[in-house]
Structure 1
Amino acid sequence: MLNPDFPFSYDHYLAHPAGLGSVPAAAYGTEVAVIGGGLSGLVAAYELMKMGLKPVIFEADQIGGRLRTASFPGAPDVTADLGGMRFPVSGRAFYHYVDLLGLSTEAFPNPLAEATSSTVIELAGKRHYATTEAELPEFFREVARAWKDAVNDGAAFSQMQDAIRARDTRRIKELWNALVPELDEETFYGFIAGSASFRKAGFGHREAFGQVGFGTGGWDTDFPNSILEILRVVYTDADDGHRSISGGAQRLPEALWRDTPSGLEFWPEGTSLSSLHAGSPRGAVAKIARAGDGSLEITERWGRVQRFAAVVSTCQSWLLSTRINTEESLFAAPMWTAIERSHYMQSSKTFVMVDRPFWKDIDPATGRETMSMTLTDRLNRATYLLDNGPDKPAVILLSYTWNDDALKWLALSAEERVELMLHSLAQIYPGVDIASHIVGAPITVSWEADPNFMGAFKANLPGHYRYQQRLFTHFAQDGLPDSQRGIFLAGDDVSWTAGWADGAVTTALNAVWGVVRHLGGTSAEGNPGPGELLPEIGPMSLD
């Protein structure tokens, strides 16, 4: 995921034997507040600890953030990933930590993926069964070709992918900097509707593209978003080659919390983030302010106050104004505008546990599997089948929806959601009694209803490039007045690839670089950090 806005090789940076940098010995043990115990907060805290600093993590709920894994009652080994669940292999900064911590992964059963034995696409009441893409009707291949032609003709897709594979930063920036001014104010839908290939194909092809999409399924809920958001995904293959973490995505932040890395500065062997916190992070943050001595003062929900030399805020940016009383002078007015203009996607998932992977039973009348991974224009939109092995309890993600489709479920209970989803699936699979296989209570989530998140992830609207540039580059603070230094933003919504865990990791590394510099430290010799290369290959300015 070598992002065209800032094509910095974070995977090479992490793998360098010299490490990420160091702070002066006088700074060892300095406490740095980390707000949020999700993946970004844990990565930042982990790397700061390795350098001899003392991260203090504040978490309002549980370690993991939106890498949240739930177990079904009475079956702790049968899990459902409520947030991030599939991670592209191109996210190499993310996989650096997956591999470092020895976590195993497995192919995720996306539509028509190699790990998916069959897929059903049902649109306008017509059902299409396929085990490979070649088995779909020609119409769907026409849709795929129209999309491929649109991004090649209007966004230099093949040229950009070649440059990314070669890590040719000069060429990446040349191509991208020409596209940004042209496309910043264009919606995803406007881009495809205006393309020669989709104009020629007609509305039916655009409609099917929205319902079925590419890679992971239908993308019409993204149609109002900036086309730049979509290009960042497809250029870097973030929509393909997905794997899941065995046992659930939350295992990664939990492993970072417990791990005892070797070769620590200052701290004795056996030190972990957990041990530095006596086994539990601090509570929710109520207020952030500048203290009289220039330090940053954190007030917890129940009144405890502590001062810090630096703060890394990894919570979703809206929370800095809606849930945390953040002193206004800590950010310039344009930064507050960028924070407030963040546009979050809603997301809903509903899971049930079933007695076994019954969908693999072969229908004697058709010779096909009883049920398949399903894409549909009905309420469910996407249904995934998650197998734990023959004759073992399995999981069905009955519905995975976004934005307007997710809001349709918001007011309904888990049981009501399941009833409606089963009704829709019964129209696609008449005669298949899914309910008879369900065991126990369903698990559901609507991220927009969680006050600690208020949405699943950010997706920029047209014209938001300037806001994203301000958020992303804020970690380089040499040009800021003293009153605005020392607080660093991180998290996937600060990244250019919001919604992908790789962005949570890379912005955490940016914040680590910023903290180290703020405390008088430097990058490792021969391994320049993101701040050193920001002037050379950083995001262009539209102002």
Structure 2
Amino acid sequence: MQTLSAFGPDFPFAYDDWIKHPAGLGQIPAEMQGEKVAIIGAGASGIIAAFELMKMGLCPIIYESDKFGGRLRSATFEGTNGIVAELGGMRFPVSSRGFFHYHDLVGCRSEPFPNPLSGAAGSTVIDLEGETLFARKLDDLPALYREIATAYDAALAQHAAYPELREAIIARDAHRVKSLWNPLVAEWDERTFYDFVTRSDAFQALSFRHREVFGQVGFGTGGWDSDFPNSMLEILRVNLLGFDDDQRYVVGGVTNVLWRLWHATPACAYWREGTSLASLNGSATRSRATAISRKPGGAIVVTDQWGNEDDYAAVLATCQSHLLTTAMDVDEDLFEQKLWMALDRTRYMQAAKTFIMVDRPFWRDEDPVSGRPAMSMTLTDRLTRGTYFFDNGADQPGVICLSYSWMTDALKVLPLSAEKRVDLALKALKKVYPDVDIASHIRGKPLIVSWEADENFLGAFKGALPGHYRYNHRVYGHFMQDRLPEHQRGLFLAGDGVSWTPAWVEGAVQTGLNAVWGIMTHLGGTSSAANPGPGDLYPELGPIALKD
């Protein structure tokens, strides 16, 4: 039975089939084997691309400005043996088959994520405008919530050919996906998520209160009002690809997927048995990349923060696009000006998380009168917005994500210390759970993140505004370099911000694999005829181009 995967919709290419095919991803000419290529950024896109390039016989040299893992950032609570807070990506939809290929390859384990109204959460509390509701499933909530869910399904069917598109994606019918999706691009690129909701017949028949609650509580993982100004195309992709459904978390921390790839010793075309990314890099990444330039002979030069220069046959930049102008001195001629425009117009959303470690999973304590747990996964209009609970076992400390917020809600805590953020969160949750003393259970030091305050990111993830499709098209398709002038070839881009699905790791995986094909081809290599790569099918199935 076929199941949903991240197959398109802009470019319906089966990446999971490509990376699993026995013929491999392709080969490079013998004279290029052992050639050095630079990878800027040790996140999901960079490490996975480096892993595949190593298997082809290239020598990926990895630059990292701060923490290995990028936004797959599992932070360990001090003094513990692997009790982690996922400061970056923490929810991984099962439709992300590319990511789970590597997750499974290195022997990681995942469990269902405790999203609202999910079996993993057990129970959910919704607290809006001072009214607190308890539910184990959607039917436990007032009719208004079911009306919202029904209205959104109806809006998708009315405006987005949703059932037909979902069926085509599940069936992996690439041409059917394109025929249904391409008209939606022109129709919805310049219109917002909020416009989509309010223009639907289903929501027009409901009240403003319905739209307000939809924004606060949303569907799947929680509230969506921070996405209301975004292009509706981004939301449609999330829905169509099942990114907001059936999610899992990686036991022990998602950074382990990348660490294990770093140390993995796969069979390689050129390197001796036992070669790993770690061994090729002397067991450590290079320092921050501060400049990218081209020599007269064609080699691309990467300079690190200590002034060390190295020549490379190709370079893959997986960092956030704004860092190419704010943190690095990149020769302007390496990209055409229309691509620079696209990179500069990329808009990143803010996000903040506050985690605490507690002595035990006390939230499971049952009230003898009501039979309810002491606390539940909580969605609220208060400062915390989303509160999640992670049970590591009765004999292990538990972890609470006290607050996960975006945009304006994230900016409210931006200048505050970890202790102040925890204090505000506890005060907010005290209004919801007046009889629970959370502070008495806290152990160790809180862990927090505000991605917009990190000089290596300047924001959490891309949030395309109306009219940004053309920019995304330029950036995403840049790995197809055969028509570029020589002086613009050899520098590639990847990362979830380059993808059509920002904030989801599958976009980082897929664009990293696009870059693998691009670098292989740039160095004279080819895919196997039995296993054509993304660039081989791009002319036929690539994203539709809108007129400038």
* 1:259-282: CA deviation from partner (whole Å, max 9, x where unpaired): 1112x1110000000000111011
CA distance in 2, matches of 1:191, 1:233: 15
2:511 paired with 1:528: no
Q: Under a length normalisation based on structure 1, what TM-score does the superposition of the two structures give?
A: 0.99
2:330 is aligned, of 320, 326, 332, to: 326
CA distance in 2, matches of 1:62, 1:360: 34
CA distance in 2, matches of 1:405, 1:327: 37
CA distance in 2, matches of 1:38, 1:487: 18
Cα displacement (A) at 1:321? 0.6
Cα displacement (A) at 1:93? 0.6
SS of residue matched to 1:154? helix
Cα displacement (A) at 1:542? 0.4
Cα displacement (A) at 1:431? 1.1
For residues 492-511 of structure 1, the aligned pairs below 5 Å read: 492-511=496-515
CA distance in 2, matches of 1:190, 1:254: 42
Cα displacement (A) at 1:391? 3.7
The match for 1:402 is: 406
SS of residue matched to 1:77? coil
CA distance in 1, matches of 2:41, 2:182: 33
Residue identity in the other structure for 2:381: D
SS of residue matched to 2:82? strand
CA distance in 1, matches of 2:541, 2:506: 19
CA distance in 2, matches of 1:178, 1:60: 41
CA contact (8 A) 1:229 1:497 kept: yes
* 1:167-193: CA deviation from partner (whole Å, max 9, x where unpaired): 111111011111111111001111101
Cα displacement (A) at 1:101? 0.8
SS of residue matched to 2:243? coil
Cα displacement (A) at 1:256? 1.0
The match for 2:99 is: 94
2:49 paired with 1:44: yes
The match for 2:37 is: 32
CA contact (8 A) 1:351 1:398 kept: yes
The match for 2:481 is: 477
CA distance in 1, matches of 2:174, 2:270: 37
1:217 is aligned, of 216, 222, 226, to: 222
* 1:445-467: CA deviation from partner (whole Å, max 9, x where unpaired): 00100000011111110000000
2:183 paired with 1:181: no
Cα displacement (A) at 1:3? 1.9
CA distance in 1, matches of 2:47, 2:444: 33
Cα displacement (A) at 1:415? 0.5
SS of residue matched to 1:201? coil
CA contact (8 A) 1:287 1:324 kept: yes
For residues 157-306 of structure 1, the aligned pairs below 5 Å read: 157-262=162-267, 264-306=268-310
The match for 1:350 is: 354
Residue identity in the other structure for 1:343: R
CA contact (8 A) 1:346 1:455 kept: yes
The match for 2:10 is: 5
SS of residue matched to 2:291? strand
Residue identity in the other structure for 2:86: D
Cα displacement (A) at 1:114? 1.5
For residues 110-121 of structure 1, the aligned pairs below 5 Å read: 110-121=115-126
Cα displacement (A) at 1:393? 0.8
Residue identity in the other structure for 2:270: F
CA distance in 1, matches of 2:144, 2:449: 35
CA distance in 2, matches of 1:203, 1:286: 50
Residue identity in the other structure for 2:122: S
For the aligned residue pairs, the C-alpha RMSD in angstroms reads: 0.7
CA distance in 2, matches of 1:43, 1:463: 31
The match for 1:540 is: 544
The match for 2:432 is: 428
The match for 2:3 is: none
Identity %: 56
Cα displacement (A) at 1:365? 2.5
2:299 paired with 1:314: no
SS of residue matched to 2:187? helix
CA distance in 2, matches of 1:367, 1:79: 30
CA distance in 2, matches of 1:385, 1:99: 25
Gapped runs of 5+ residues in structure 2? 1-5
* 1:38-63: CA deviation from partner (whole Å, max 9, x where unpaired): 11000111101000011111111121
Cα displacement (A) at 1:136? 1.1
CA contact (8 A) 1:107 1:244 kept: yes
CA distance in 2, matches of 1:376, 1:272: 46
* 1:15-71: CA deviation from partner (whole Å, max 9, x where unpaired): 111000000111010000111111100011110100001111111112100001111
SS of residue matched to 1:473? helix
* 1:419-453: CA deviation from partner (whole Å, max 9, x where unpaired): 11000100001111111111121110001000000
Paired residues, number: 542
Gapped runs of 5+ residues in structure 1? none
2:394 is aligned, of 370, 390, 395, to: 390
The match for 1:376 is: 380
CA contact (8 A) 1:357 1:391 kept: no
CA distance in 2, matches of 1:535, 1:459: 27
* 1:188-241: CA deviation from partner (whole Å, max 9, x where unpaired): 111101111111112100000000000000010011110000000000100011
* 1:456-494: CA deviation from partner (whole Å, max 9, x where unpaired): 111110000000000000001011000100011001100
CA distance in 1, matches of 2:135, 2:288: 49
The match for 2:146 is: 141
Cα displacement (A) at 1:76? 3.1
The match for 1:367 is: 371
CA distance in 2, matches of 1:371, 1:45: 43
Cα displacement (A) at 1:109? 0.4
CA distance in 2, matches of 1:113, 1:7: 30
The match for 1:58 is: 63
Cα displacement (A) at 1:392? 2.1
Residue identity in the other structure for 1:176: W
Residue identity in the other structure for 1:394: G
CA distance in 1, matches of 2:527, 2:317: 21
The match for 2:494 is: 490
Residue identity in the other structure for 1:240: D
The match for 1:447 is: 451
Q: Under a length normalisation based on structure 2, what TM-score does the superposition of the two structures give?
A: 0.98
Residue identity in the other structure for 1:279: S
Residue identity in the other structure for 2:374: T
SS of residue matched to 2:205? helix
Cα displacement (A) at 1:137? 1.2
Residue identity in the other structure for 2:100: Y
CA distance in 1, matches of 2:392, 2:451: 26
